[in-house]
């Protein structure tokens, strides 16, 4: 009986890790898209501050997304 319980716990941990990996991959895809959008919206070097702000926001959103992935386990 104890062995069955251990197998069940291990299985649920692997499933949670897989869900988290999918979640983090989604966060990474969103981050990549946001960074590309920042670069497209601010192609002029004179807009460096606007681009940096956009990229900072993308980084912050990525961090929040990854944090949310961890909370969803």
Residues 6+ apart with CB under 8 A from 65: 23, 26, 27, 30, 31
In this prediction, residue 61 carries a pLDDT of 96
- Domain ranges for the chain, please list them: 2-71
| The overall pTM is greater than 0.85 | no
In this prediction, residue 19 carries a pLDDT of 64
Interval 4-60: pLDDT, tens: 433 343 334 344 455 677 999 999 999 999 999 998 987 888 888 998 999 999 999
């Amino acid at each position: 009986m104890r062995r069955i319980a251990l197998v069940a716990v291990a299985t649920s941990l692997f499933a949670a890790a897989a869900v988290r990996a999918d979640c983090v991959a989604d966060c990474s895809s969103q981050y990549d898209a946001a960074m590309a959008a920042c670069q497209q919206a601010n192609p002029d070097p004179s807009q460096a501050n606007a681009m940096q702000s956009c990229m900072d926001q993308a980084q912050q959103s990525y961090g929040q997304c990854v944090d949310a992935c961890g909370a969803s386990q």
